[in-house]
Structure 1
Amino acid sequence: MTLKETLRTDLTAAMKARDTTRSATLRMALTSVTNAEVAGDTAVELDDDAVLKVLAKEAKKRKEAATAYRDANRPELADKEEAELAVLEAYLPQQLGDDEVQELVRQAVAETGATGMAQMGLVMKTVQPLVAGRADGAKVAAAVRAALA
């Protein structure tokens, strides 16, 4: 069963259980997947990796919105965004911790022989496939900057 089929099955189960947060979040996720499928010149069925990228993008939106709502002193809206984020995170791969990201960056720096910030792009190109979907790009970039500084 593909990830998209899993989302549809889970949506049906959430609707039957009258779980409004989960069903609304899964509907939003499926809509985003469909929009990504028809965004190009021709409509294509997304594979699981592409669906994961869409879900990661949606999760990032929820995380940023929750932070913005907390900063604006709107905890009820932040709680709603965090609940949606929790639903989306159930479908994403386990996120890497800071130590794991730093270790992967150290390995990439050693592998590429990078010595300064001029080689940051080279190190990022090496690290990105290793952390794909399992770490935020900003966190990886910060770790690379720290390693090369």
Structure 2
Amino acid sequence: MSKTELVQKEMIAAMKARDAERKESLSLLLAALKAKAKDKKEALLEAEEDAIILKEIKQAEESLAGAEKAARADLIEMNRSRIAVLSEFAPAQMEEAEIQKIIAEVLQKLGIEKPEPKDKGIIMKNLMPLVKGKADGGMVNRLVGEAMK
């Protein structure tokens, strides 16, 4: 079962349970998934579905930050709820130790023993395809920076 189908099934269950907040969050996610599939004119791959889910989570987190800055309790609660619902469908994120292991493998493959700032571009170019959708880009960037010290 694709994530799109799973989201649709969960949305129907939320409607039957009269859980308006959950239904709304799932409805927005389902709309984003279907819009991408319509643009592509074929079914989405799992990696594409995961990317859309992560994008929706990131948008909700940005909205949450704005709501917290504006001290809007109603929006804060809504966005926290949305993030919780969307996180159920998000792919599992890699731990720092796993990312560090992959960084070490990439460095070994490239033959770089002591990485320097000038090597960062080539390291990231080889590393990102291995962790895309599985790890936060900011964390990956930070860990590569730490490996250069």
Q: CA deviation at 1:45?
A: 1.6
Matched, 1:140 2:140: yes
Q: Structure 1, unaligned stretches of length 5 or more? A: none
Which of 38, 61, 66 pairs up with 2:59?
61
Change (3 A) 1:44 1:106: same
Q: What count of residue pairs does the alignment treat as equivalent?
A: 147
1:93 match: secondary structure:
coil
Counterpart AA for 2:90: L
Change (3 A) 1:78 1:50: same
Q: CA deviation at 1:49?
A: 1.5
* Moved >4 Å (runs of 4+): none
Output the CA distance in 1 between the equivalents of 2:79 and 2:110: 40
Identity %: 28
Between 1 and 2, higher relative CO (CA 8 Å, sep ≥ 6) is seen in: 2
TM-score, structure 1 normalization: 0.86
Q: CA deviation at 1:60?
A: 0.9
Q: Which residue of 2 aligns with 1:117?
A: 117
Q: Which residue of 1 aligns with 2:9?
A: 9
Q: Which residue of 2 aligns with 1:52?
A: 50
TM-score, structure 2 normalization: 0.86
Q: CA deviation at 1:148?
A: 2.1
User: Which stretch of the first structure deviates more once superposed, 133-142 or 102-111?
Assistant: 102-111
